[in-house]
Amino acid sequence: MLSVLSGGGVGCRGVKNDQNFSEATAVLFTWIDRGEVNRRTANNFYSMIQSANSHVRRLMSEKALHEEEMERAKEIFKNALVAILTQFEQITAVFNAATRQKAWDHFSKAQRKNIDIWQKQCEI
pLDDT at 6: 37
The pTM of the whole model exceeds 0.75? no
> Rounded distance, CA 56 to CA 124, Å?
48
Boundaries of domain holding 105: 3-123
d(CA 90, CA 46): 66
Query: Whole-angstrom Cα distance, residue 84 to residue 82?
Result: 5
> Contacts for 79-88 with beta carbons within 8 Å, 24 or more apart?
88/122
Q: What is the pLDDT along the chain (124 residues), one digit of tens a residue?
A: 333 333 444 455 544 556 678 898 999 999 999 999 999 999 999 999 999 998 899 999 999 999 999 999 999 999 999 999 999 999 999 999 999 999 999 999 999 999 999 999 988 7
**Which long-range CB contacts under 8 A does 63-69 form with residues at least 24 apart?**
none
pLDDT of residue 2: 38
Domain count within the chain: 1
